[in-house]
Chain A
Amino acid sequence: MTTLLLAEHDGKLLSEQTARTLAAAAKLGAPVHVLVAGAGVASIAEAASRLDGVAKVLVADDAAYAHQLAEPLSALLVSLAPNYDALLAPSTANGKSVMPRVAALLDVMQISDVIAIDGTTFQRPTYAGNAIETVTSSDPKLVVTVRGSAFKPVGEGAASAPVEAVAAAGDPVLSRFIKEELDAAERPELTSARIVVSGGRALGSKEKFEELILPLADKLGAAVGASRAAVDAGYAPNDWQVGQTGKMVAPDLYIAAGISGAIQHVAGISDSRVIVAINKDEEAPIFQLADYGLVGDIFTILPELKDKL
């Protein structure tokens, strides 16, 4: 009875999503092996080996895994699957791309985006977070993706797990990496930031979004998020979108500025510890879940808040 967890990393650093998924994996009660697949990933494997609760780290160091393409990565996971009863990955873009492919190849129905585990039952949100299902599987193996924001990351440093190289599985060469355009990461990553400042459509323009949201975020050392309305209007890039169809966040402090609080958005922030809403419409639904609300003009409140912090 062993669990295999696919580590999330960007080729340089191990993502905190791995430590969060480890916390979920621990609830299955079996030893956990972490698979680090990539090219030149020795230091990432080393980082994974220090996480608490890891029994062993497997490293598949091969050019085929450099960009986490689903076709070779799923073949690798399937080649390792006979030794495991459960295969887990975080519900990141990579995890969501790779794991259903693994599940189908193993003839297993995947349990997606799990937010709680109790023995052999799993909770997962459906209908944009409006209904929480408790499910159990009759498959001989489990394939699970985990919503990281629902689990606290495990600690590190208690011990160092052994690191073992594994052979690459054949690459079917069905797809080829061309390029990646990633935002310069001068701010903390949205899904693991301690503070998130998000702007909505009320900001009115890309210029105002950048002028009001970014300085406040930078003063707080916060990540920047946006509502779907703000993203659709072009005020903020796609990958800043917080909500059911964007990123799920669970910071200590979430500041929603000029966001009305559509269900879709609320589903992505409800695990936050403290929510602050600033909106000129006192009837805005966001106030129903905000711990602290300020009714007023974001164009004067946000600069004032930044200056007084």
Chain B
Amino acid sequence: MKVLVAVKRVVDYNVAVRVKQDGTGVELDNVKMSMNPFDEIAVEEAVRLKEAGKASEIVAVSVGPQKATETLRTALAMGADRAILVKTDAKVEPLAVAKLLKTVVAEEAPDLVILGKQAIDDDSNQTGQMLAALLGWSQGVFASKVETGEGMLTVTREVDGGLQTVELKLPAIVTADLRLNEPRYASLPNIMKAKKKPIAEKTPEDCGVDIAPRLTVLKTEAPKKRGGGVKLASVDELIEKLKTEAGVL
């Protein structure tokens, strides 16, 4: 089974994101960037499939600027075999990313594509589902467990109120939720080896995909802040306040 994994370069999850004063977006200058955490889980799952003898080859793909090669190197250091960068400095929306990935799928013919369930920058949670739709493939999104079978996958999904298990016909799309696995840290020898692994580059034009955005962001603001309240001295005072002042009991 050949596996394709999609990864995105995003603001590191430890960075306290600040909105620009002029409302044009968030501060991205000199901010630490990393692989989207959900994509790390996706890569880890692919590597585990390979280690278990279920996957034959892992191809990592990213859509983004030249610097996204760093993210691809991380995927290669974790265990992907080779990588493809669809290079663009433009902001690419999930629909366009899905279209670009579709062209990569057409060339690479994987049996399974694993993606993170959402990117922690735009929080859209769309790309995997959209790719599945464009390919006419089955989807198992928000996966917490993946088991392989003959021509199919069994995927346990995190749904409201518990877990749902579905069987997917291959080829299929899986998106990784938080508890699918714990991604490894790449070892130094693997990081060195990753430097020699190939990264192919192409552009959206090469793919024949129009990536013009459909949404216009009119402004970006910081969320309304809740004012801090008061600190109380005792449980009795709390109950009193909740009953009289707040009226919620």
Contacts and interface: CB of A to CB of B under 8 A. Distances in A.
- A is bound by B: yes
18 contacts: A100-B94, A102-B133, A104-B131, A113-B123, A127-B11, A130-B223, A134-B220, A135-B218, A137-B216, A174-B169, A175-B138, A178-B167, A252-B248, A253-B249, A270-B226, A287-B231, A305-B238, A308-B235
Interface in B141-169: 141-142, 144, 154, 157-169
B33 interface: no
B125 interface: yes
A164 interface: no
Interface stretch (B75-83, B195-203, B239-247): B239-247
Given A112-B126, A305-B239, A132 B221 contact: yes
B120 A131 contact: no
Interface residues of B, number: 79
A289 B215 contact: no
Contact of B222 (A105, A130, A289): A130
Given A175-B166, A305-B239, A97 B139 contact: yes
Contact of A308 (B121, B139, B239): B239
Given A131-B19, A135-B218, A253 B161 contact: no
A287 B228 contact: yes
Contacts of A309: 239, 249
A239 B248 contact: no
B84 interface: no
A52 interface: no
Contacts of A220: 249
B245 to A, nearest CB: 9
A177 B126 contact: no
Nearest to B157: A93
A133 B217 CA distance: 6
A44 to B, nearest CB: 16
Contact of A292 (B129, B159, B172, B229): B229
Contacts of B231: 282, 287, 292-295
Contacts of A138: 214-216
A43 interface: no
Contact of A263 (B16, B221, B222): B16
A280 interface: no
A100 B242 CA distance: 42
B133 A101 contact: yes
Contacts of B235: 294, 301, 304-305, 308
Interface in A81-129: 92-94, 96-105, 107-113, 121, 124-129
